[in-house]
C-alpha cells in the first residue's frame, strides 16, 4: 500500500510533494525538523524543544492533556541514540498542539481516519503574520512523513483540544481557517 492510499482522498489533488524520513521511532520528530528547515538529524533538538514547552507550562498542559500528559511526556523524553521504542514515538494529534505553540506554526495532521489542524493556543495569527503551515501524515499506522499541500486545499477540522482550550485572543485562527 502506498503512502497516498493512507491519506484521505480529499487531500490528494493538493499534494505536491511527499518526503519520507527514516523510520526508526524518531520519524515524527525528523519530519518536524525537516519542515522547519533543520537537518533531519536535529530530531533531538525538536524533542527537547517540545519537552521544554510541555514542562514550562506543565500546569496548563496537565489540565489540557489530562490522563494523556504522562504518555506525551514519555514520548518526548528520549535520551540516547538508536531506534526509539514505541513509548517514545510521537503522539499525534496532541503533540501538534505543542508544535504549534513552541514554533508558532499551523500543524496539519493527516491520516486515513483522522485529520486535524492545530494552531498556537496563546498567540493570535496577527502576531505571526508569516507563520508557516506544516503538514505531517501518519501512514501505515506507524510512520510519519512530510506532505506538501498547495493551492486552496480543504483544511482539516480544527483539533478539539485547541477549540476547547484556546485563548480568546486567538479566535482569529478559527476565522482564518474558514
| Whole-number pLDDT of residue 173 | 87
Tell me the average pLDDT of the chain. Answer: 92
User: In 10-68, which ranges are continuous DSSP H helix?
Assistant: 27-35, 43-56, 58-65
State pLDDT tens for residues 8-23.
Answer: 999 999 999 999 999 9
Sign of CA dihedral 35, 37, 39, 41: negative
Instruction: Domain 4-177: give its CATH architecture.
Output: Alpha-Beta Complex (3.90)
Which residues are CB-contacts of 103 (< 8 A; sequence separation ≥ 6)? 36, 49, 132
Which residues are CB-contacts of 41 (< 8 A; sequence separation ≥ 6)? 30, 33
| Whole-number pLDDT of residue 178 | 66
In whole angstroms, how far apart are CA 11 and each of 6, 131, 148?
Answer: 11, 21, 10
What values do phi and psi take at 44, rounded to 5? -65, -35
- Please state the domain extents for the chain: 4-177
Length of the chain: 178
Amino acid at each position: 500500500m502506498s503512502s497516498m492510499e493512507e491519506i484521505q482522498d480529499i487531500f490528494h489533488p493538493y499534494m505536491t510533494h511527499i518526503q519520507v524520513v527514516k523510520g526508526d521511532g524518531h520519524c515524527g520528530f525528523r519530519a518536524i525538523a525537516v519542515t522547519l528547515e533543520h537537518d533531519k538529524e536535529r530530531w533531538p533538538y525538536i524533542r527537547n524543544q517540545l519537552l521544554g514547552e510541555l514542562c514550562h507550562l506543565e500546569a496548563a498542559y496537565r489540565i489540557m492533556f489530562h490522563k494523556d500528559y504522562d504518555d506525551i511526556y514519555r514520548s518526548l523524553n528520549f535520551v540516547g541514540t538508536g531506534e526509539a521504542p514505541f513509548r517514545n514515538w510521537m503522539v499525534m494529534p496532541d503533540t501538534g498542539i505543542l508544535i504549534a505553540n513552541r514554533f508558532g506554526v499551523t500543524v496539519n495532521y493527516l491520516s486515513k481516519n483522522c485529520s486535524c489542524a492545530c494552531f498556537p493556543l496563546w498567540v493570535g495569527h496577527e502576531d505571526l503574520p508569516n507563520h508557516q503551515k506544516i503538514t505531517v501524515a501518519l501512514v501505515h499506522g506507524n510512520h510519519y512523513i512530510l506532505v506538501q499541500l498547495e493551492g486552496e486545499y480543504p483544511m482539516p477540522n480544527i483539533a478539539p483540544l485547541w477549540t476547547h482550550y484556546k485563548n480568546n485572543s486567538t479566535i482569529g485562527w478559527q476565522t482564518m481557517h474558514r
